[in-house]
Amino acid sequence: MKTLLTTSFLILSIHWFAVGQTQNEQLLQVDLGWEKALLESDVAFLENLLADKFVWVHNHAGQIDGKEAAVGRAKRIKAGQADDTKNRTSRDQQVVIVGTTGVVSGYTVVDRGPSPTTYHFMRTYALVDGQWKLLANHTMAIPEEE
C-alpha cells in the first residue's frame, strides 16, 4: 500500500510539474508575441491580447497608457506614422504562474538608433477562458554605464 501511495504521488508530481512547465513555456511564447506585435504594429494581436483594463506604466510613470492608446499607436503606425523602432529583443525572462495569474519579467533591448536602449520589464497576465490576457506592463529604461 505504501508503495502504491508513493508511486501515485510521484506520478501526480510529475504530471503537475509537466503541466506547470508547459504553461510557463506557453506564457513565454505569448510574451514574445507581445514584443513582436509591438515591433510589427500588429493591431489584431494587440486587440486580442490586451485586457480591456490594460495598464502600461512607462519610465517613472512619465507616461501611462491603456489598451486604447497602445492599440491606437499601432494603428497610426500601420497608417503611415513614422516609427524608428528597428528591433526588439527580449532576454533573461523569468516566468512565475500562481493559479490564473502569470508574471513575466526580464529585459528588452529596443533599437531605435543611434544606440539601443535596454528596458527592464514586468508584465502581469491573467488566464481568462483558457487564453492569456495582458493586464499590466511596467517598463523602466536601464541607464547606460558611464
CATH code, domain with 11: 3.10.450.50
| Domain membership flag for residue 126 | yes
**Structural domain includes residue 79:** yes
Residue 15 confidence (pLDDT) above 50: no
Residue 122 amino acid letter: M
Into how many domains does the chain fold?
Answer: 1
Distance CA 100, CA 127 (A): 5
pLDDT at 32 over 60: yes
Query: Residue 144's pLDDT band (boundaries 50, 70, 90)?
Result: confident
Sequence-distant (6+) residues with CB within 8 A of 134 are: 30, 34, 49, 50, 51, 54, 123, 124, 125
* Cell reading at 144: 547606460
pLDDT tens string 75-107: 999 999 999 889 999 999 999 999 999 999 999
Query: Which domain covers residue 133, as residue numbers?
Result: 2-141
The model scores a pTM over 0.85: no
Residue 131 counted as domain residue: yes
Cα(118)–Cα(116) distance, rounded to whole angstroms? 7
pLDDT in tens, 104-137: 999 999 999 888 999 999 999 999 999 999 999 9
C-beta neighbour count of 3 within 10 angstroms = 7
Q: Is 146 among the domain residues?
A: no
Decide if 53 contacts 29 (C-beta within 8 A).
Answer: no
* Whether the predicted pLDDT of 45 surpasses 70: yes
Which pLDDT belongs to residue 84?
A: 87
